[in-house]
Amino acid sequence: MSHRSPPWRFPFLAALALAATALAAGCAGGPGAVGLLGKGRDARWLTGTWQGGYHCALGYGDARLTLELTGTSGGRVGGTFAFQVIEPLTQIPPGRFRVEGALGEGGAFHLEGTRWIDWPTGFSMVGLEGRADRERGVLSGTVPACGEGATFFLERAAEPE
């Protein structure tokens, strides 16, 4: 099987290594949605397009991921989660669903799927738990529904217009 490089700036494995480093250092993960609600953090800076990938330890392997987010001054975050499985190379159609969540203290955030837009057969919506690093323009952390070792890494691709 040949290896194809993903279309974003950092190779996928390097991005996963960075996310794993953040996890080991205690920088990723978070208190979950309940711990983040009502914190009043300004999440407007999260508005825009974030691209990268994630690794699902259960079932399908690696996928491209694009988050289109809108943040509020009250710490709420919403948008769309679009994915395309790239490894193993299969004929799986891309998927997309709505997400909602919150930004908390220290950049901790939580997103959960709320409604399918494009639903490939056999897939479930997943959430993200992680840290938002405003200075580096990076979101990283875990994909809890995909099993232990499931990580994601995203870079800001576009600011809002």
- The structure's pTM equals 0.74
Q: What residue type is 161 in one-letter code? A: E
75-119 confidence digits (pLDDT tens): 999 999 999 988 766 677 899 999 999 999 999 999 999 999 999
* Residues 98, 79 contacting (CB under 8 angstroms): yes
- Give the whole-angstrom CA distance, residue 148 versus residue 132: 21
The domain 12-123+134-158 is placed in CATH, from the list 2.40.50, 2.40.128, 1.10.1130, 2.40.320, at 2.40.128
What sections of the chain are H helices per DSSP?
Answer: 12-24, 32-36
86-95 confidence digits (pLDDT tens): 876 667 789 9
Paired residues of 108 in beta bridges: 131
C-alpha closest to that of 140 among 41, 27, 62, 43: 27
Q: Tokens 């799927």 identify what position?
A: 113
